[in-house]
Amino acid sequence: MKRLASVCAIALLTIAAGVGCGREPVQTGNIFVIAIESEADVLDPQVAGGWVTWRINRQIFEPLVDQDLTIPSAEATIPPLKPGLAESWDVSDDGLDYTFHIRQGVRFHDGTPLDAKAVEYNVRRMWDKESPMYSARAGGQTGFVWKFVESVDVLDEYTLRIHLKQPFSEFLRMLTQGGNGSAAIISPTALQTYGDDIADHPVGTGPFKFKERIRGERIDLVRNDDYWGNVPKIDGVVFRPLPDPSARTAALRSGDVDMIAVPNPDSIDNLVSEGYQLSEGIPPHTWYLSFNMKDRYTSIPEVRQAINLAVNRDGMARDLLRGSVTPAYGVQAISAGGYVERRDVYERNLDKARELLASVGLGNGFKTTLITSTDGSGQIMPAQMAEYLQQNLAEIGVDLDIQTQEWISYLGVWARGAQEGVGMAQMSWGMTSPYWLYIVTSSELQAPNGPNVGYYSNPELDEAMNNAITALDPAEAEKWWREANNIVSDDAALVPIVNDKAPYVLAPYVSGFVSASEEWYDLTEVRLEQ
């Protein structure tokens, strides 16, 4: 394909129209090719980890409740809920019974009809340890969604009731989430046929169907012409893993791909000046560190506070990442409920950081280890960012050793929890639900039994989060989530670094792509207008 030059109109947040400007015609067919930042995990949505994989799985599979991702971030900080495979639902006054009315006339890609029993099969796969359908891997990844479920009952062919032990204010929102497992619904026929090999034969109800996967090279999806919702305008999607940012940029310029994820920050301005389109938003993303509470040094509150004060968040966002992120001055992203900005504990103050270390006898510093990945979902530029932190901490006498691994391997290491000698473990995560804070800090979800990889435990925090979770009044829940965020900040349990804008760069002929306030996207309205 011929390289596209000359400058056209640039669309931010929502790419709503193609751009021409007299370029020579480009012929790519009607397949949307996306260069992604790493190899994907398994194509089992209830098991897979990482946003990079959920962006693929979400095109194949759907949850009961969804979010409207056709609204750009500028118009909706948190995407509104909308019906998914449940066309409606009722919640009892006491918040314990959720009755889902399953959408009729929907079929999985293998022809299996969607009904209440199909949904029940999936819920039991993730929740019911006594059921023959149960998968320990699916249960391990999604346990925090189903934690408060007491029973699941099929009331009739298209009605399912889930009864909770206690109110769970974020239950509906959590059904929409992905990235560390998801509650998306898989064909029960396919599960029965393929068992543990379901990831090689993914069958959902979504707008695209699985065609082929060549590991390390591509994942091909084709349009589902029988889709119950808006049938996609494109014939299919190809996801190409290209971990090197320069390779992604080169592939866009050569015309081998139509869109790239995680562009090198240094390349964005040049690409825009050449006529490519930039789309970005405010997803619920936080690039953060978890302190190891079993470590000799990072178990000390003053050490944790000092490290937080030593980080130059503004400098990293401005100088290293060229404005493609914003500095994180709160534990969660602004697109999550309960957000609290705390510059008093996260704004750089080297003098105070040194005083804190001296107060606990560490005025001469100490040595510790940070683990991170070399690439991956939402990881931006993890190695370079870790090196930037290494320089920051050296200014207060902390000698930081950096250990890196490829993304999928790193996910397994991270999930086991910080090991001896590791002071901090890095991850990129977040949700449009404040319940994410519970997932990563609850004493009940300490690794390896949950994503609290630093083994943090604080009874005061657990009580505040439980009050938020069980609140029936949204305003009351918000109050307690804000309190929980303040507790985590005051205790320096985490080190929020930056919030990503999730930039994508698209070819000029791509239209209909929307950057919503989420880490994944809807591709049904994308067009290739050449």
Mean pLDDT on 9-23? 36
Check whether residue 118 and residue 173 sit in a common domain.
yes
The 10s digit of each residue's pLDDT in 436-457 is 999 999 999 999 989 999 999 9
Task: Please tell me the predicted confidence (pLDDT) of residue 8.
Answer: 36
Task: Please tell me the predicted confidence (pLDDT) of residue 13.
Answer: 36
Check pLDDT > 80 for residue 10.
no
Mean pLDDT on 55-74? 97
Q: Decide if 20 is inside a domain.
A: no
The helix or strand, by DSSP H or E, that contains position 11, with its residue range, turns out to be: none
Check whether residue 235 and residue 316 sit in a common domain.
no
Check pLDDT > 90 for residue 25.
no
Query: How many structural domains is the chain composed of?
Result: 2
Check pLDDT > 90 for residue 223.
yes
Check whether residue 303 and residue 189 sit in a common domain.
no
Check whether residue 193 and residue 78 sit in a common domain.
yes
Instruction: State the Cα–Cα distance between residues 418 and 371, nearest whole angstrom.
Output: 9
Which segments of 277-342 does DSSP mark as H helices, in order?
301-310, 313-315
Cα–chain center distance at 477: 23
Task: Please tell me the predicted confidence (pLDDT) of residue 38.
Answer: 93
Cα–chain center distance at 168: 21
Split at pLDDT 50, 70, 90, the class of 247 is very high
Task: Residue count of the chain, please give it.
Answer: 530
* Range with the poorest average pLDDT among 16-30, 204-218, 452-466: 16-30
Instruction: State the Cα–Cα distance between residues 340 and 483, nearest whole angstrom.
Output: 9
- Please give the mean pLDDT across all residues of the chain: 94
Check whether residue 494 and residue 509 sit in a common domain.
no
Check whether residue 198 and residue 306 sit in a common domain.
no
Sequence-separated (6 or more) residues with CB below 8 Å from residue 296: none
For residue 472, the enclosing domain spans 286-500
Task: Please tell me the predicted confidence (pLDDT) of residue 377.
Answer: 84
Q: Decide if 38 is inside a domain.
A: yes
Instruction: State the Cα–Cα distance between residues 476 and 470, nearest whole angstrom.
Output: 10
Check whether residue 509 and residue 423 sit in a common domain.
no
E strand map for 215-303: 218-223, 236-241, 259-261, 277-279, 286-291
Percent of the chain scoring above 90 in pLDDT:
92
Mean pLDDT on 104-132? 98
> How many CB atoms sit inside 10 A of residue 262's CB?
27
Exposed, middle or buried by CB within 10 Å (0-12, 13-18, 19+), for 250? middle
Q: Decide if 2 is inside a domain.
A: no
Q: What residue type is 96 in one-letter code?
A: L
The CATH number linked to 172 is: 3.40.190.10
- Residue with tokens 């000359």, as numbered in its chain: 6
For 347, list phi and psi in degrees, rounded to 5.
Answer: -80, 140
Instruction: State the Cα–Cα distance between residues 326 and 503, nearest whole angstrom.
Output: 12
- Residue with tokens 């069958």, as numbered in its chain: 203
The CATH number linked to 359 is: 3.10.105.10
Q: Decide if 18 is inside a domain.
A: no
Check whether residue 337 and residue 424 sit in a common domain.
yes
Check whether residue 481 and residue 518 sit in a common domain.
no
Instruction: State the Cα–Cα distance between residues 3 and 284, nearest whole angstrom.
Output: 34
Check whether residue 439 and residue 520 sit in a common domain.
no
Task: Please tell me the predicted confidence (pLDDT) of residue 2.
Answer: 33
The CA R_g of the chain, rounded to the nearest whole Å, is 23
Split at pLDDT 50, 70, 90, the class of 397 is very high
Mean pLDDT on 424-430? 97
- Reported pTM: 0.90
The 10s digit of each residue's pLDDT in 323-335 is 999 999 999 998 8
Task: Please tell me the predicted confidence (pLDDT) of residue 313.
Answer: 98
Check whether residue 42 and residue 140 sit in a common domain.
yes
Task: Please tell me the predicted confidence (pLDDT) of residue 83.
Answer: 98
Mean pLDDT on 62-79? 96
Q: Decide if 129 is inside a domain.
A: yes
Task: Please tell me the predicted confidence (pLDDT) of residue 24.
Answer: 41
Q: Decide if 25 is inside a domain.
A: no
Task: Please tell me the predicted confidence (pLDDT) of residue 29.
Answer: 76
Q: Decide if 276 is inside a domain.
A: no
Check whether residue 496 and residue 510 sit in a common domain.
no
Split at pLDDT 50, 70, 90, the class of 16 is very low
Closest C-alpha among 373, 356, 462 to residue 410: 373
Check pLDDT > 60 for residue 489.
yes
Percent of the chain scoring above 70 in pLDDT:
95
Instruction: State the Cα–Cα distance between residues 530 and 528, nearest whole angstrom.
Output: 6
Q: Is 225 left (phi over 0), alpha (psi -120 to 50) or beta?
A: alpha
Q: Decide if 22 is inside a domain.
A: no
The 10s digit of each residue's pLDDT in 281-313 is 999 999 999 999 999 999 999 999 999 999 999
The helix or strand, by DSSP H or E, that contains position 249, with its residue range, turns out to be: helix 245-254
Q: Please provide the DSSP assignment of 388-408 as one string.
A: HHHHHHHTTTEEEEEEEE-HH
